[in-house]
A = this chain, B = another copy of it.
Amino acid sequence: MKNDATIDIDIKRALTSKLDSIDFENLKFGHIFTDHMMTCDYENGSWQTPKIMPYGPISLDPSAKVFHYGQAVFEGMKAFKDDQDQIWMFRPKDNFNRINISAKRMAIPEFPENFFFQALDTLLKMEKDWIKKGFGNSLYIRPFVIATEPGVSASPGTNYKFMIICSPAKSYYNGEVRVKFSENYSRAADGGVGYAKAAGNYGAQFYPTNLAKEEGYQQIIWTDANTHSFLEEAGTMNIFFRINDTLITTPTNDRILDGITRKSLITLAEENDIKVEVRKVPVQEILDAAKDGTLKEIFGTGTAAVINPISGFGYKGEKHELPVLTDSYATFFKDKLMKIQYNLSEDKHGWRYLVK
């Protein structure tokens, strides 16, 4: 099948909309879902006709492999509405490519590009009234795939469900974020699945994060599992460190998610003559820089948070506060990125995608 071939989509509209009952000024991230969802089943060796139907529960056999073996991957994307009521997405092809990279690592069949974009466009047009204008408002989009085949033998399933659900969003994080540099726990192994948005990578972080919360931190910056001496990524964000006027971030590898916000920021930095070093980040270097005052900023990047400034960090019982800057890179890049996302500035790199 040619990759842009037009496909059939079965559409069943919701009889009523929840839209009027939603308080868009007070949205908790990821808790309200729109009126419709997309679902597409993989059966008999191929992806079947995508369906768009009223959002609601799905029914699975209790032995479905997703429950037992975590054979599941996901993506996070956003749609934005400009002043002309046009709906935009940000580099969605990269999310599409990445969900298939994740799928391959989890032995899940890849999803066809034309299915993905045609189903997504159709769904977003149906949900257009859920996307509110205004800088900061967006529709968070969650594509995911789960293994649905019944049976508890520990082997890949032959049946899968690809779904897209959507949740109106303002911003992901609220308040100040302090992070703990991980000393003992780790997120990913060399040769493991850390680079994939595999479901189990996230659940595995909850307990260490709870322990960090008890110490007054909101997130963990994970260190390498072998030595715990290099800083890698946070729970749902890649991490940048600013020492003097240079940004430093760890290279992607099989432990690190190839973040789309991360790589966009690297491009924007180069374009704005801000030096970025993509190299390993020793914990000791950051501790030293915090002590001598050259550590200016730490921030996380990710679709949900866009850019999330970190106000302090802790390591081995010592806590460090970061300065409050009037010229922070976090603010600079967040504004740059969001203006591209909301069609408020030039799109030099062809990152915007118009939903048609």
Contact = CB atoms under 8 A, between A and B. Distances in A.
Interface of A: 28-31, 33, 37, 39, 55, 57-63, 65-72, 74, 104-107, 140, 142, 144, 146-147, 150-156, 163, 165, 167, 182, 184-193, 198-207, 209-210, 225-226, 228, 235-236
A55 B150 CA distance: 12
A191 B236 CA distance: 18
A56 to B, nearest CB: 8
B55 A58 contact: no
Given A55-B62, A58-B59, A62-B37, A29 B153 contact: yes
A204 B200 contact: yes
Q: How many monomers of this protein are in the complex?
A: 2
Contact of A192 (B58, B155, B186): B186
Given A61-B57, A191-B184, A203-B106, A150 B70 contact: no
A39 B62 CA distance: 10
Contacts of A146: 67
A28 to B, nearest CB: 8
A146 B69 CA distance: 11
Given A31-B150, A63-B142, A70 B200 contact: yes
A290 B57 CA distance: 54
Nearest to A142: B152
A192 B204 contact: yes
Contacts of A236: 154
A189 B225 contact: yes
A62 B200 contact: no
Contact of A60 (B58, B150, B167, B186): B58
Given A69-B200, A106-B203, A107-B207, 14 more contacts: A28-B153, A29-B152, A29-B153, A57-B62, A66-B66, A69-B199, A70-B201, A152-B165, A155-B209, A186-B189, A188-B192, A189-B192, A190-B225, A198-B204
A114 to B, nearest CB: 23
B165 A106 contact: no
23 contacts: A28-B153, A30-B151, A33-B62, A55-B62, A57-B61, A58-B61, A60-B60, A63-B165, A67-B199, A68-B74, A68-B144, A70-B204, A105-B204, A106-B206, A107-B210, A182-B191, A185-B192, A186-B191, A188-B189, A191-B228, A200-B200, A200-B201, A200-B204
